[in-house]
Amino acid sequence: MSSCRKCDTYCGADKPLDDIPWLRQIKETATNKTQIYKESYNYGREGFFIVSCADTNCNYPLSSLMTCTGDVLCSYGGVVGIICYDSIYQTTTKELIYSSY
């Protein structure tokens, strides 16, 4: 019989929006429309997908895939186009955990 102490954690946190400082800061300082997703990518690696709008109409949303430590793996949208820092990322699951709208 196996025991699991942290089965419900994500990125090592029980409550990622409260327990991960850089993620909490994004949530608390969002001035326009922002969404935060838990995202599994590349066969089970955990991270976050952040969608933020530069204006109130959300004409040019910027989307970023970020690691558990807050490093940007890939960004697209806004005025930057597509910038990926490693390789192609394949999303396996995505769950909305915060929306400011």
Report which DSSP code applies to 16: H
CA 96 to chain centre: 9
Distance of alpha carbon 62 from alpha carbon 57, whole angstroms: 13
Q: Each residue of 2-43: pLDDT tens digit?
A: 444 445 789 999 999 999 999 999 999 887 889 999 999 887
How many other C-beta atoms lie within 10 A of the C-beta of residue 44?
Answer: 8
> For the whole model, what pTM was predicted?
0.81
Pairing of strands 45-52, 34-41: antiparallel
